Amino acid sequence: MARPVAAVGFAALGFALSVESDRGDPLIRSRLGVIVGATLAVWAIAYIPRDDWIFPTGGELFVVPYVIWALRLGYRLGTGRAPSPDAPRRVQAEIVADIAVVLLFLLALPFWIRSTFGVASIGDPTNLVTVTNATSEAIDFYQYRDQRAYRERIEAGETKTWDWLEHGSYSPAAEDLAGTPIFCPYFQDRELRRAHYQITVVREPATCAAR
């Protein structure tokens, strides 16, 4: 319950920052502030229904525009100097500037979505899944329980990593070298995301009884 409430609070803070940066006192007006506030608001709204792995607001590199915005705001408030009005630009310069903004948006948006929400914005979304064999023997691991033709040998104590296509649920399986199923879990995507997409294989044949 605490996480959705906190997310709502961050969303309200982001909206307030965005509005003030756009329409507030000239000292705090800033296009960069609008972007920072909008990013915080969208990120918070997206995480209201989620209780899994939380990604940094705007991704790790978002600290760069945030620091620039904070330093500019601190300088303006400290000196009391508002930014000077922009001088009118020629029509050609306006067109070039608009094209540059569109291109920057198209290039930055996929990275922003991926780093903020942990999902792919172009192509089939994948996640890096780490599987550790915590048993005392080698195993054959299957990403899909009903597709035994595709197996991966994992030695005792070994860890391997693969890119898995994102699904709503996952049904991996593992068996010992004698062909006996020993690990047949069922995961919702939110469960794996909460576990940072890490699977630890242990000997639990009971999970395979009803599969």
Helix (H/G/I), strand (E/B), else coil: 88: coil
In angstroms, the CA 128 to CA 163 distance is 5
Q: Return the closest-CA partner of residue 34 out of 66, 8, 79.
A: 66
Check if the beta carbon of residue 125 is closer than 8 Å to that of residue 166.
Answer: yes
Domain with residues 126-208, CATH architecture: Sandwich (2.60)
> Of the ranges 58-62, 102-106, 142-146, 189-193, which one carries the lowest mean pLDDT score?
58-62
Query: Which of 9-18, 60-69, 149-158 ranks highest by mean pLDDT?
Result: 149-158
Backbone φ, ψ for residue 30 (5° rounding): -165, 130
- Pick 95 or 58 by higher pLDDT: 95
In angstroms, the CA 187 to CA 128 distance is 15
In angstroms, the CA 22 to CA 41 distance is 15
In angstroms, the CA 71 to CA 60 distance is 18
Annotated domain spans of the chain: 2-117, 126-208
pTM, two decimal places:
0.50
Mean pLDDT of 35-55: 71
Q: Tell me the pLDDT tens digit for each residue of 61-78.
A: 566 777 788 888 888 888
Helix (H/G/I), strand (E/B), else coil: 164: strand
HSE, CB side, 13 Å, CA atoms: give it for residue 122.
Answer: 7
In angstroms, the CA 6 to CA 12 distance is 10
Q: Find where tokens 């192509």 sit.
A: 123
Q: Find where tokens 């690990």 sit.
A: 183
